[in-house]
Chains A and B, each alone.
Chain A
Amino acid sequence: MPIIGYSYFNYIVPIQPTKIDAISGSVPMVSIAFSLMVGLGTFFIIYSGFTLVFFKKYMKSPMMQKLYLWTFFLPYIAIMAGWIVTEVGRQPYVVYGLMFTRDAVSTVPVMQVWFSLITILIMYTVLAIACVYLLKQRINAPLIKQEQV
């Protein structure tokens, strides 16, 4: 039963051999991203397990509670690292063993792709700012709101 780390490699090797080569060092970007993903995942399991087991200790310790606050961005990094392993590790194929990435490129004019890339970046930036703005308001608001008449 594969639980953590590299033990489930045996299942992937027959399906995508070159990805395993990339993870074990032939492509530094993929191997770093993989270590990051697995490392963070292990950290999450150990840390949350520790919290569950020693919950009374956790409730009394401000330092441990603050650590939770400062680790909120780590899952995002772990998710992105996972996607780097999936996508960069699969290169040069877009569908493993069936289609090369260079064959899958569409004929959409480059300017149109730039237009969509830049505008979607602007849109997501605006949405992210709006999200932070709303979160900040929610955090700063008192827990029980005064009834407004």
Chain B
Amino acid sequence: MSHEFLANLWYFILALVWAIYISQELFVTGVGMLSIRYDVKYESFQKINESVATFWDGIQVWLIVAVGGLFATFPKAYGLTLQALYIPFYLLLVAVILRGTSIELIYKSDDPVWRKGVSKLWAVSSLLLILIEGVYLVNLFVGIPIENELMTENFLTIFSRATLFGGVLLVLSALSSGYAWIKLTLGKDFKTPSKKSILWISGAMIFNVTLLFLSLTNEYMVFETGLFATKPVLWVMPILAILLYVAQFVFHLRENYAGAFVSIVIGIALVLFTGFSASFPYILGSTIDPSEGILILDAAASKHALELITGVTVVFLPIVIGYQTWKYVKFWRNF
């Protein structure tokens, strides 16, 4: 296998890992955010806490795989993103730590003040976590202001219109899939926020995903340079993503929560694949001058390193995916 093929393969694997991670993380953070509507004094809070408790820590490992895989296979891109996006990454780390500790620690004390404080921390850190991930991912798609492999501007420039659309899209998707998850695991009769409020959220998501794609097209022209320019068949992905977002609204309207959940999972995966294939020849584009961006092949690790890590991944990735699928089957409605 040539070096170029391995580098491109790893770009695809990283996109796949991000899609697997985000599509699972959505419902965990969504349930976390929705938990702010429940009082920790009552049993209902404990139930929704338990409904994600068996899943969140395993899912979080995918984030480590996504970032660690970038380190192993594209060390240059890893160094540059973590340097340029130092504060967002740091805040992501804080959110990950606080989310994990708050889920684990809510019931470790009988003190009502403790329980209330920690349960609110769960909601706030979930929001922070998924928002930053959205902003970060759209930044990967559109690129950051880099010149001569150095960040030239203040890190606040990463909060552009498109990236905020990305962040808000993930937050809204999380709320919608978290709502569907609660309904699926705890039964349709479980007391939740009203159907009307979730319809507003899932309706807003349709506009949000459309605005994200429009912003990517008009402001950054990512679809004119990447894979989309040469392979028009790829337009299926963004169009299907929008259709799936419409579908999840319809499913919410008809109270088919399994349909809504699956639509969001596949929809967000398609949004991510659209973004990754739009920025394809560059692993990290430059918003200043496209030629300053970092190419996948330039950032890739040596051929030997890639061969080694590909061998390990080919064996273990299917095992991990299989195990995770088994876990969902095993723990389904087992609360």
Contact = CB atoms under 8 A, between A and B. Distances in A.
Contact of A120 (B94, B108, B150): B94
Interface in A98-149: 106-108, 112-113, 115-116, 119-120, 123, 127, 130, 133-134, 137
Nearest to B79: A106
B86 interface: yes
A120 B87 CA distance: 12
Interface string B97-135: 110010001001111001000000000000000000000
Contacts of B110: 137
A133 B109 contact: yes
Size class of the A contact interface (CB-based, 8 Å): 10 to 19
Size class of the B contact interface (CB-based, 8 Å): 10 to 19
A108 B105 contact: no
Contacts of A133: 109, 114
B83 interface: yes
A112 B155 contact: yes
B198 to A, nearest CB: 33
B109 A137 contact: yes
B87 A127 contact: no
B151 interface: yes
B83 A119 contact: no
Nearest to B101: A127
Given A115-B87, A130-B105, A134-B105, A107 B150 contact: yes
A130 B101 CA distance: 10
Contacts of A115: 87, 90
Contacts of B155: 112
Contact of A108 (B86, B97, B101, B109): B86
Shortest 8 CB-CB distances between A and B: which pairs? A116-B90, A108-B86, A106-B83, A134-B108, A112-B86, A108-B83, A112-B87, A137-B109
Given A119-B94, A123-B94, A123-B98, 17 more contacts: A107-B151, A108-B86, A112-B86, A112-B87, A113-B86, A115-B87, A115-B90, A116-B87, A120-B90, A123-B97, A127-B97, A130-B105, A133-B114, A134-B105, A134-B109, A137-B110, A137-B111
Interface of B: 79, 83, 86-87, 90, 94, 97-98, 101, 105, 108-111, 114, 150-151, 155
Interface of A: 106-108, 112-113, 115-116, 119-120, 123, 127, 130, 133-134, 137
